[in-house]
Structure 1
C-alpha cells in the first residue's frame, strides 16, 4: 500500500490563476487501504497541499452542502449545518426462529469529525463510508494516528430514541436524543457491506427534548452496508452487521456557538490543528479512536 501514489493530488495551477485543488478522489482506490488511519492520512495530505498552494484553509462548516436526499424532505427553514460526522459501527439484529425475519435490535457507532472534509472535498466525503464499512474496527490503535478526530458516539436509549453524544475530551458539539421523522431506501448504487449486505436506509431524524447546542435535525446519508438477510435461516439469535454512514447535524440558525476554550477551538476544522500547522509530516497522530463506547454497548435498541 502506497497512499502517496494512490492519491493523485494533481493540484491544477496556471500562470494567470490562483492554484485550485483538483478532485482529490480521482485516482483514489477505495480498496487500497488496510486501515481507516491510512485513508484519513491521505485525506489530510490533500488538505495540507491545498493550504500550501492556495494559502487558504476554509473549513467553515456552515458552507458545507448536504448531498441530494434521495426523496427525504429538506431540512426545515431556519436551520444551518452544525456538524458533519462519519459513523462506523454495527446495526444489530435478533432472530426468534429460522423461519422469521430479523428484527432490528440496536445500532452502535463511533463518530468522527468530517466537517472539514464536507467543506473542502464533498466529492470525497460520500465515498468514505464505502471504504470504512470494510475495515475491522476492533483494535483501539487502528486509527490512533487519524487526523479526523473522534467527535462522539451514537447508540439507542430505547426503542424509539436514537442518541448522539458529541461531547468528547477535545470538543463538545452537544447531545441529541432523536426520533425518526422520515426514511427512504438507499440509492440503488449505494455501497454494499463486506458480505454484500445492502445499504441501510437514509434517515431524517428530529431532535427530542433534551437536545443541546440548538440541534434540531439529524440526517443519515451516504450509507454503506448494515442491512440484515431476508430471513433468519442459518443466523444466530443475535448478530451484528457492519455499516458506515455520514451524519449531518442541523441547528437553529440563530444559535451562537460560543467557544469553550480548548474543547471548542477546533469546531471549524474537523482535524488536529497541528496537522495543518506542521505540514508534510504524515506520521503525526491525531485523536481518532474507533473503540465503541461502553454506554453504547448497553443501549442497543431498534437500529
Structure 2
C-alpha cells in the first residue's frame, strides 16, 4: 500500500470523524475499560513462550503510537541494532472507540511518507485544537537503553524484560524495507533513573526489521517502523 499526502490526510480525518461521535474529544480519553488482548502476550510460534503480564497494582496510563525508524549498523557482516527514534502520538481515543481502528492506524502509519504524516497531524491539530503528539522515544548512547519523554513531563528509562516475535500477520514494513515486524517487548524501568511509569509494552509492531542475511552497507541504516506502546504505572 502506498500512502500519499492525500491518503494520509484521508486516514487521519476518517479517524477524527469516528472519534467525533458522540463527543468531540480527540485525545486523553479514559482507558479504564481497555486491556491488552490475550494473544498479544503469546509467541505466535510457541505458546509456552509468553510476555509477563502487568502486575495487579499496575494501571494502564496511556497508549501511544510510535512512528519512526529502527536503526542499524553493519558490523562484520551482521546488522547490529543502533536503537530507534520515534515520535509518539496519542491513541487513547482511538482505542476508546475501536481497538480494531487503532490497529489499522498503526499499520497505516508505517506506510506513510513522513512529510505527509506530519502535514496531516498539523492540519488536524489546527482544525480541532488538539495536541496529538504526546512525546518522543529514543535510545541513550549505549543503544541498549530505551528512553521515553512525554509531553505531560512523564518519562521512562528502561531495558528489555521480555521479548516474543511479532503477532502473526503483522505488517512487514514499507517497501523497499519490508523485512518484517520487530518483536513485541516488555520494558522494565532501570532503577534509580527516575522513571514515572512502571512498565511499557511494545505491541502490534509494523516494519523495523533489518535486511536478512549478511550485510555490507556503510554507516547507519534506518528502517521505518510503527508500534503501539502501552504505558503502565503503579
TM-score, normalised to structure 2, is 0.82
Q: Distance in 1 between matches of 2:148 and 2:159?
A: 11
Seen in structure 2, the aligned counterparts of structure 1 residues 58 and 134 have a Cα distance that, compared at 3 Å, is: closer
Q: CA deviation at 1:36?
A: 4.1
Describe how 1:255-266 pairs up with structure 2 within 5 A: none
Q: CA deviation at 1:126?
A: 1.8
Describe how 1:118-267 pairs up with structure 2 within 5 A: 118-138=95-115, 140-146=118-124, 149-157=132-140, 158-167=142-151, 172=152, 174-195=154-175, 196-208=178-190, 209-213=192-196, 215-233=197-215, 235-252=217-234
Contact kept? 1:202, 1:222, Cα under 8 Å:
yes
Q: Deviations over 1:225-274 (max 9, x none)?
A: 0000123445333211000000000011xxxxxxxxxxxxxxxxxxxxxx
- Aligned residue for 1:114? 91
Seen in structure 2, the aligned counterparts of structure 1 residues 224 and 184 have a Cα distance that, compared at 3 Å, is: same
Higher strand residue share: 2
Higher helix residue share: 2
Q: Distance in 2 between matches of 1:132 and 1:113?
A: 13
Question: Equivalent of 2:62, from 73, 79, 83?
Answer: 83
SS at structure 1 position matched to 2:101: helix
Stretches of structure 1 that go unaligned for 5 or more consecutive residues are: 1-29, 253-303
Q: Distance in 2 between matches of 1:40 and 1:173?
A: 26
- Aligned residue for 1:65? 35
Contact kept? 1:31, 1:131, Cα under 8 Å:
no
Q: CA deviation at 1:51?
A: 3.3
Contact kept? 2:4, 2:113, Cα under 8 Å:
no
Contact kept? 2:3, 2:113, Cα under 8 Å:
no
Seen in structure 2, the aligned counterparts of structure 1 residues 126 and 67 have a Cα distance that, compared at 3 Å, is: farther
Q: Deviations over 1:20-39 (max 9, x none)?
A: xxxxxxxxxx7676454432
Q: Deviations over 1:183-239 (max 9, x none)?
A: 0001231111112220000000012233444x1000000000000012344533321
Q: Distance in 2 between matches of 1:165 and 1:36?
A: 26
Count of aligned pairs: 212
Question: Equivalent of 2:82, from 84, 105, 108?
Answer: 105
The structure with the largest alpha-carbon Rg is 1
SS at structure 2 position matched to 1:46: helix
TM-score, normalised to structure 1, is 0.64
Contact kept? 1:36, 1:143, Cα under 8 Å:
no
SS at structure 2 position matched to 1:93: strand
Q: Deviations over 1:35-79 (max 9, x none)?
A: 544322211101213338xxxx99312222222323312111200
Q: For structure 1, which segment, 65-74 or 189-198, has the greater mean C-alpha deviation from structure 2 after superposition?
A: 65-74
Q: Distance in 2 between matches of 1:131 and 1:60?
A: 24
